[in-house]
């Protein structure tokens, strides 16, 4: 067995890209400043020198054209990884993602598959204000034809990309900006992981906290605080937002009988609303308390530190929500 080593989430993503480039000559990376600059969040730093400008391809600031070019390249037999700097910029490429990537297989009666991977940064917490901080992955998770994943751990940052590249359909990977500096250890031989199932990151029996991406770590912190109060919280990491692994969520909530959904998206029309609805459709009579939600406040994300913090789900809010679900009928 090889020794585990210390690295960051960012390093894990970079290793995954480098491994894919080595393993499959059809793979290439393109996006704004992925080459000479090294990536807006330094994920691709060093890759240009190693793989050259044909495979680490800087693009103009033309989100629609380079995402569409990714679709065309996938149709033409390549395995593109397209990086979009941040989810807010992906709105400039919505036409290609929603009208083409998500529809071509279906409109063509199964003839055209699009093995395309799009990576993008999501989420707030860096005081980047209202055009670089939103969590719009829930919008994309609304669209049939797309697979949406959100790696929240080093293992998933290292392992989801290869599986996504092997998928015959478009996969969007959402990387929460607060995770890039997350450090931890991985085995030297860490590799591909599934992109189908949610994971239980902490087992518990009193309440289920449902989270993904950036909210996983806040939920784990909340679970620690709850433990000190004698409340045993189970923490689920959804990992894949579309298709949802509802079974894992429903089985957990059927056991704990209480659920708190933690979603950095806005509450109205959110992924959290979808999960709450599914719980109530499927296991309403198992519940001991109303399903609770902790979401972002419904404001464009503000710049000022205290306002941004107040707009986001925080461990304290998760603890309070969990306590209410338990307190109601404990």
Question: Which residue, among 167, 171, 168, has the nearest Cα to 146 in the 3D structure?
Answer: 171
C-beta of 144 vs 230, nearer to another protein: 144
- Residue 244 in the binding site for another protein (CB under 8 A): no
Q: Is position 197 an interface residue for another protein (rule: CB under 8 A)?
A: no
Closest to another protein by CB, 104 or 289: 104
Q: What sign has the CA pseudo-torsion 193, 195, 200, 202?
A: positive
102 vs 207 by CB, closer to another protein? 102
Q: For another protein, which residue of 18, 24, 45, 75 counts as binding (CB under 8 A)?
A: 75
CA pair distance 130, 275, nearest whole angstrom: 26
Residues 44 to 73 in contact with another protein, rule: CB under 8 A:
54, 59-60, 62, 64-73
d(CA 104, CA 95): 12
C-alpha to C-alpha distance for 127 and 307, rounded to whole angstroms: 9
297 binds another protein (CB under 8 A): no
Q: Which is nearer to another protein, 65 or 200 (CB)?
A: 65
Greatest Cα pair distance, the chain, in angstroms, is 61
**142 in contact with another protein (CB under 8 A):** no
Among 96, 122, 153, 248, binds another protein (CB under 8 A): 96
Please report whether residue 246 would count as binding another protein according to CB under 8 A.
no
Distance CA 38, CA 48 (A): 8
Q: Do residues 27 and 81 lie in contact, with contact meaning Cβ atoms separated by under 8 Å?
A: yes
Using rule CB under 8 A, residue 76 touches another protein = yes
Q: Let me know if 132 is a catalytic residue.
A: yes
Residue identified by tokens 């996938």 is 74
Q: Measure the CA dihedral 255/282/316/314, to 10°.
A: 130
Q: How far is CA 176 from CA 66, 103, 185, 264, in A?
A: 22, 27, 19, 10
Shortest gap between Cβ of 155 and another protein (angstroms)? Answer: 19
| Count of residues engaged in binding another protein, rule: CB under 8 A | 43
Question: Is 107 among the residues that bind another protein (CB under 8 A)?
Answer: yes
CB 81 within 8 A of CB 20: yes
As measured in angstroms, the least distance from the Cβ of 71 to another protein is 5
Smallest separation, CB 61 to another protein (Å): 9
Stretch that binds another protein, among 3-11, 94-102, 271-279, 322-330 (CB under 8 A): 94-102
Q: Which of 63, 137, 175, 308 is catalytic?
A: 63
| CA dist list (Å): 224 to 217, 256, 289, 327 | 11, 17, 21, 18
Is 83 one of the binding residues for another protein (CB under 8 A)? no
105 touching another protein, by CB under 8 A? yes
Q: Which of residues 157-186 bind another protein (CB under 8 A)?
A: 163, 166-169
Pairing mode of beta strands 233-237, 183-187 = unpaired
Q: Which of 144, 268, 298, 306 binds another protein (CB under 8 A)?
A: 144
Catalytic (active site) residue 15: no
Would you state the torsion angle of the CA atoms of residues 156, 162, 165, 171, taken in this order, to the nearest 10 degrees? Answer: 0
Residues with active-site annotation: 63, 132
By CB under 8 A, name the binding residues for another protein. 28, 54, 59-60, 62, 64-78, 80, 95-96, 99-100, 104-113, 144-145, 147, 163, 166-169
């Amino acid at each position: 067995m090889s020794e585990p080593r210390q690295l960051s989430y960012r390093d894990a993503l970079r290793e995954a890209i480098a491994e894919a480039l080595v393993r499959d000559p059809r793979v290439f990376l393109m996006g704004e400043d992925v080459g000479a600059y090294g990536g807006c969040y330094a994920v691709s730093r060093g890759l240009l020198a190693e793989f050259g400008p044909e495979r680490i391809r800087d693009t103009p600031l033309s989100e629609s054209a380079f995402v569409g070019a990714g679709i065309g390249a996938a149709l033409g037999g390549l395995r593109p990884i397209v990086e979009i700097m941040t989810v807010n910029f992906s709105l400039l490429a919505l036409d290609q993602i929603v009208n083409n990537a998500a529809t071509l297989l279906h409109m063509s009666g199964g003839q055209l598959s699009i093995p395309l991977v799009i990576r993008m940064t999501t989420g707030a917490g860096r005081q980047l204000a209202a055009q670089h901080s939103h969590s719009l992955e829930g919008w994309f998770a609304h669209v049939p034809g797309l697979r949406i994943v959100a790696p929240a751990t080093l293992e998933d940052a290292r392992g989801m990309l290869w599986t996504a590249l092997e998928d015959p359909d478009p996969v969007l990977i959402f990387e929460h900006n607060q995770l890039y500096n997350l450090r931890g250890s991985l085995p030297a031989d860490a590799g591909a992981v599934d992109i189908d199932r949610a994971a239980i990151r902490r087992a518990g029996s009193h309440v289920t906290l449902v989270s993904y991406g950036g909210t996983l770590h806040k939920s784990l912190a909340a679970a620690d605080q709850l433990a000190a109060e004698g409340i045993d919280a189970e923490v689920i990491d959804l990992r894949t937002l579309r298709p949802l692994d509802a079974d894992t969520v429903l089985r957990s909530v059927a056991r704990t009988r209480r659920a708190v959904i933690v979603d950095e998206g806005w509450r109205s029309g959110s992924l959290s609303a979808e999960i709450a609805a599914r719980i109530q459709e499927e296991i309403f009579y198992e519940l001991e308390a109303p399903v609770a939600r902790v979401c972002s406040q419904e404001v464009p994300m503000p710049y000022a530190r205290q306002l941004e913090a107040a707009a986001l789900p925080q461990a304290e809010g998760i603890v309070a929500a969990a306590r209410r679900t338990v307190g109601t009928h404990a």
